[in-house]
Homo-oligomer: A and B are copies of this chain.
Amino acid sequence: MRLKLLLTGNELMTGDTVDSNSAMIATMCMDKGIQVSYKATVSDDLAQLISEIERISQTADVLIVNGGLGPTSDDLTSEALASVLDSPLQFHQGALAHLNQWCAERNYELSDANKKQALLPECVELVANTVGSAVGFKALFNGCLIICTPGVPSELDIMLKEQILPEISARLSSDIQPKRVRFRIFGFGESNLQQQITESFPDWPNEVELGFRASLPLLEVKLKVDLASHHALLELWKNKIKALLGDHIVTEDARPIAQVVVELLSKKAQKVTFAESCTGGKIASLLTEISGSSKVFEAGFVTYSNTIKVNMLGVSEADINRDGAVSEAVVRQMLGGALKKSGADVGVAVSGVAGPNGGTGEKPVGTVWLAWGREGNISAREFYFPTGRAIFQKIVSALALDLIRRELIGSVEQPAYFVSRQSK
């Protein structure tokens, strides 16, 4: 199936808005086995919209037009389609009914501007918008199905899932029934994991497409087959990959690590604490972005200076002087102090050299010590991420949460944390 996109919006042409809608459409369609083969983007210009709809529809089976459905005068998609279809604009009764209901639910008056959103080419069919005011609409033109969709991402998202994907999937031949599974994992780099899979599975089948997508700090692993007769094969290789990756799999959906940790803690009715030096509050911040975190988190300690490590967490000044702040002794004592002061069940402490300054020959920028665990059962390990300050803080914060996750699921395997030395 030849699926093409046409995006419209002045803000897309000036650079004020980065187009994420087309990636959303492409990702969802890929999951259904349909690849977007072309996209064009134009400003809110009627002549350009008309000529692009005419041109692109000539070589497409489906053309999704995105944007230009709003109430303002620069929203021109309906007018452009009316011209292409040679079908006059008129108030569509279904669209008016939708607008009336949408306004009634919000106690709004239906304004003339909003009413304009019901002015559609006579011959179109509606595509329902269950969350916003702008209805979608569609029509056949020279054998190409043209579907006009709203630019608001949340409205596009739901319209794709509820209406458009089922409709265009039904146009695929019955043998083609793509299926895709995904894992989000922590602890492997893309090339490293690719090599492991190649080495572990020299007999990887051609029918199962393997893909990766780096979304720092996680790595997404994707397996895909196109035919219904290969679904069993997908299941088989999914399980082989699951066995290989083990507890490195954080989720099989899109939840961040912090949410997984909050859910595990809630289930066990336990509390967590953090003693942060080089991450400067980021670990606590990631956890408290999750709604419901107040049930599992009471206190975090951002101890950036040595004096504060001593005064706030009771770290031994002599140990700092002997081993330095980035050391096993110090992170163990930071965690011990944090657990005691907060009364939390489990915790993690971090001290490292985020850079760009502060590195030494023995402890270069990127060196970090983490301690994790519970009172009387604290582990510690040194890591090295010479990646630049921002990525260092991102990886180390995710690592801290992942260590808590592994503690909570009682993982006994050795994590492949990109890494070197260990101590327990």
User: Which residues of the other chain, B, contact A283 by a CB distance below 8 angstroms?
Assistant: 281
User: Which residues of the other chain, B, contact A341 by a CB distance below 8 angstroms?
Assistant: 311-312
One digit per residue, 1 when the CB lies within 8 angstroms of any chain B CB and 0 when it does not, for chain A 303-316 equals 11101100110000
Say yes or no: B37 contacts A39, CB within 8 Å.
no
Closest Cβ–Cβ distance, residue A1 to chain B (whole Å)? 14
Say yes or no: A18 contacts B15, CB within 8 Å.
no
A354 to B285: give the CA distance in the assembly, Å. 13
Given contacts A285-B280, A294-B358, A302-B300, A14 and B26 within 8 Å (CB-CB): yes
A278 and chain B: residue at smallest CB distance: B288
A contacts with B, residue count (CB < 8 A): 70
Closest Cβ–Cβ distance, residue A4 to chain B (whole Å)? 10
Say yes or no: A213 contacts B16, CB within 8 Å.
yes
Among B23, B285, B342, the residue within 8 A (CB) of A15 is B23
Contact segment of A40-48, A132-140, A144-152, A368-376? A40-48
Say yes or no: A291 contacts B389, CB within 8 Å.
yes
Say yes or no: A393 contacts B15, CB within 8 Å.
no
Among B23, B289, B302, the residue within 8 A (CB) of A393 is B289
Given contacts A15-B30, A287-B280, A40 and B39 within 8 Å (CB-CB): yes
A74 within 8 A of B: no
Given contacts A17-B23, A39-B41, A41-B39, A300 and B312 within 8 Å (CB-CB): no
Among B15, B284, B294, the residue within 8 A (CB) of A22 is B15
A284 and chain B: residue at smallest CB distance: B281
User: Which residues of the other chain, B, contact A354 by a CB distance below 8 angstroms?
Assistant: 288, 291
A282 within 8 A of B: yes
A206 to B27: give the CA distance in the assembly, Å. 43
Given contacts A39-B41, A40-B38, A307-B298, A280 and B291 within 8 Å (CB-CB): no
Within 8 A of B (CB), among A57-74: none
Say yes or no: B15 contacts A25, CB within 8 Å.
yes
A343 to B308: give the CA distance in the assembly, Å. 10
A36 within 8 A of B: yes
A311 and chain B: residue at smallest CB distance: B341
Per assembly, the copies of the chain total 2
Closest Cβ–Cβ distance, residue A3 to chain B (whole Å)? 10
Say yes or no: B48 contacts A43, CB within 8 Å.
no
Residue picked from A15, A42, A276, A293, most chain B C-beta under 10 Å = A15
Say yes or no: B294 contacts A284, CB within 8 Å.
no
Given contacts A42-B38, A283-B281, A299 and B291 within 8 Å (CB-CB): no
Say yes or no: B308 contacts A304, CB within 8 Å.
no
A385 within 8 A of B: no
Say yes or no: B40 contacts A289, CB within 8 Å.
no
User: Which residues of the other chain, B, contact A287 by a CB distance below 8 angstroms?
Assistant: 280
One digit per residue, 1 when the CB lies within 8 angstroms of any chain B CB and 0 when it does not, for chain A 326-364 equals 000000000000000111000000000011111000000
A297 within 8 A of B: yes
A35 within 8 A of B: yes
User: Which residues of the other chain, B, contact A22 by a CB distance below 8 angstroms?
Assistant: 15, 19, 41
A301 within 8 A of B: yes
Say yes or no: A308 contacts B302, CB within 8 Å.
no
Within 8 A of B (CB), among A160-205: none
Say yes or no: A289 contacts B280, CB within 8 Å.
yes
A390 within 8 A of B: yes
Say yes or no: A298 contacts B291, CB within 8 Å.
no
A221 to B97: give the CA distance in the assembly, Å. 39
A228 within 8 A of B: no
User: Which residues of the other chain, B, contact A390 by a CB distance below 8 angstroms?
Assistant: 289
Say yes or no: B16 contacts A18, CB within 8 Å.
no
> What would be 17 A-B contacts, judged by CB atoms less than 8 Å apart?
A15-B22, A15-B23, A15-B26, A18-B18, A37-B43, A39-B40, A276-B281, A278-B288, A284-B302, A291-B354, A291-B357, A298-B303, A299-B304, A300-B304, A301-B302, A302-B302, A307-B343
What 7 additional pairs, Cβ within 8 angstroms, besides A19-B23, A299-B312? Answer: A15-B26, A18-B18, A280-B287, A289-B393, A292-B357, A298-B303, A300-B302
